[in-house]
């Protein structure tokens, strides 16, 4: 049975979601106070399969809760919120949410979203934007098509995907990729990134995925 952690301060909504998910075979533990939920998660890090998280919470904003969870775990997070602005959705995905449901919604839709994420996780493939990563086979696909990457290129692209939205210096890329020698020159890193850009169809003058940050390094923005 999959264990779900629910963070929802509306007790009527909390009860509705708990009862509905239990009817579909999920074991749900609910918290109204987000700091208690985070503390509990830290002590039971491997217990849960997925988190359903509200945004408008007491003590701390749901976005900050999401950030704190991402600091300790890659567990899938579904945002369940009455905040339906596109800016909220973009921010939620940028800080690590896996899905976003705007209230009100049919509880059945939440079940479908949960099952889709768990099924995806069971395949050992991770979906990040247009990319699908299989870390067992060291394969990355874009729009369903496998990329012909060298080991160094795979490691660099995977590093970018795992740090989406963060600026990575050339030094941090070198330190984060075992296949790159520690004393590699900056132009070697640039050459690998240029090759990756070609293979993913990214125009360095108008990047969709890998943006050059002058004087700092690179940022994956896709």
What is the residue extent of each domain of the chain?
A: 3-122, 127-220
Q: Distance between CA 177 and CA 109 in Å, rounded? A: 40
Cis peptide before 76 (omega within 30 of 0): no
Q: Distance between CA 209 and CA 140 in Å, rounded? A: 14
The CA-atom distances, in angstroms, between 37 and each of 2, 34, 80, 146, 176 are 18, 5, 16, 39, 32
Same fold, 3-122 and 127-220: no
DSSP 7: E
Relative to beta strand 145-146, strand 139-142 is: antiparallel
Q: Distance between CA 70 and CA 33 in Å, rounded? A: 18
Superfamily for the 3-122 domain? Response regulator (3.40.50.2300)
Sheet of 217-220, strand order: 167-168, 217-220, 210-213
pLDDT per position as a tens digit, 26-70: 999 999 999 999 999 999 988 899 999 999 999 999 999 999 998
Q: What is the pTM of this model?
A: 0.57
> How many Cβ atoms from other residues are within 10 Å of residue 53's Cβ?
24
Topology of the domain covering 127-220: Arc Repressor Mutant, subunit A (1.10.10)
Least confident of 98-112, 128-142, 177-191, 192-206: 177-191
Least confident of 8-22, 146-160, 169-183: 169-183
């Amino acid at each position: 049975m999959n264990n779900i952690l629910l963070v929802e301060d509306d007790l009527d909504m909390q009860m509705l979601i708990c009862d509905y998910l239990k009817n579909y075979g999920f074991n749900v533990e609910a918290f109204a106070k987000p700091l208690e939920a985070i503390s509990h998660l830290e002590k039971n890090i491997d217990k849960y399969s997925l988190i359903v998280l509200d945004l408008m919470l007491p003590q701390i904003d749901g976005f900050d809760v999401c950030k704190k969870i991402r600091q300790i775990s890659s567990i899938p997070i579904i945002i369940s919120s009455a905040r339906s602005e596109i800016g909220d959705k973009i921010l939620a995905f940028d800080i690590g949410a896996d899905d976003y449901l705007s209230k009100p919604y049919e509880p059945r839709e939440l079940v479908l979203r949960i099952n889709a994420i768990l099924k995806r996780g069971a395949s050992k493939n991770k979906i990040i934007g247009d990319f699908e990563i299989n870390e067992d086979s060291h394969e990355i696909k874009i729009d369903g098509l496998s990329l012909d990457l060298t080991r160094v290129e795979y490691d660099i692209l995977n590093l970018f995907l795992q740090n989406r939205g963060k600026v990575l210096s050339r030094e941090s890329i070198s330190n984060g990729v075992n296949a790159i020698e520690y004393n590699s020159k900056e132009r070697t890193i640039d050459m690998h990134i240029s090759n990756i850009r070609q293979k993913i169809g990214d125009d360095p003058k108008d990047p969709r995925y890998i943006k050059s940050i002058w004087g700092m390094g690179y940022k994956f923005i896709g």
